[in-house]
Amino acid sequence: MAYTTVDNPLEYFNTKLYTGNAADGSSTTQDISGVGFQPDWVWLKSRDTANNHVVDDSVRGANKHLFPDLTNVENTSTNYLKSFASDGFQLGPDGAINGNGDTYVAWNWKAGTSFSNSSGSNGANLDSSGSVSTTAGISIVSFTGNRSTTRNIYHGLGAVPKIMIFKNRDGTNGWTIYNEAIGNANKLTLNNTSAAGSCSACFASTNPTSTLFSVGDDGDTNGTSEKMIAYCFSEVKGYSSISSYLGNNSTNGPVVFCGFKPAWIMIKNTEAAEQWRVYDNKRDPFNHMFRCVFPNANNGDNTTDNESEEIDFLATGFKIRSDARQLNGDGQKLIYMAFAEAPLVTGASAIPTTAR
């Protein structure tokens, strides 16, 4: 049996760095290519200026934007991401994503297969639609909420999602996260630093299945007559890892096995009010890595090389080099979501990956 079904992770996830070209007040556009596929979820961030994160996806459509560090309702504008292309996307002139001379990072995921499921089908009691890749374990699910009772919603993954990120598009609600490691009666919030907190209504205290996820009487995940979006991820051996580790408060921190050389990792301490952190192999191509971005804040890249931020990307996963609570709180549970640069062993040629 092959070690992984995703021999080339670049077919499903890729980080793209670029420099903006739009002056203030201009109508300049920019075509970003070299992604390697037509993306279905694009997450954009300015690296050297304090601008908000911007998220776009093919299910809601280009020109409809959400901001992970804010609770704002969905924004409709041609000034941010304007369209998706076969090898990337086109940008408008807003400084958050295309300021002249500023540097940016774009994280790109491919789903690619559209679906629509009516209430009553596949055990669901609410309509849903979206884009899914069962190969890459990603599903972007759109639905209209109804808080009157527990709603079971089809996600299309064919596998159990281990993390789900919800946003109420019509309400000023937070970005509410289900994660297997903290349980179905608790939540994390992407737009703030809070530790995991109880929310039995968010996911109706029900574990997702390989077919459905559940939402209850909570406006963050199920606002009545309000448009909702959920980004759902299952694990795929050799391509993605979604799990947790325990900190040891040492600069000789835990080694976390993922089964691949990572390209991108997001980490959060679930037991402390600490920032979310994202690392990738393009902004920081060498160990020790310290150029993290905070999804809950508009800060640019962290550019100070200090032990409180450091991790290493390994051939098999990652190692924590920090003794700080945000990455390595003593005895505390930290969750992570990681995507591969290269699997530990490719399925076709059985060639092992190498360290950085």
Q: What is the mean pLDDT of residues 229-257?
A: 96
pLDDT > 60? residue 1: no
pLDDT band per the 50, 70, 90 thresholds, residue 118: very high
The structural domains of the chain, with segments of one domain joined by +, span 9-109, 113-233, 241-343
The 8-class DSSP code of residue 196 comes to P
Q: What's residue 26's pLDDT?
A: 82
Q: Residue 20: pLDDT above 60? A: yes
CA separation for the pair 66, 17 (Å, rounded)? 20
Beta strands in 247-309 (DSSP E): 255-257, 260-269, 277-280
Strands 212-215 and 151-154: antiparallel
- The pTM (predicted TM-score) of the whole model is 0.96
Amino acid 105: pLDDT: 98
Contacts of 128 by beta carbon, 8 Å cutoff, 6+ apart: 116, 117, 141, 142, 143, 153, 154, 155
Q: With 80 as the cut, is the pLDDT of residue 350 above it? A: no
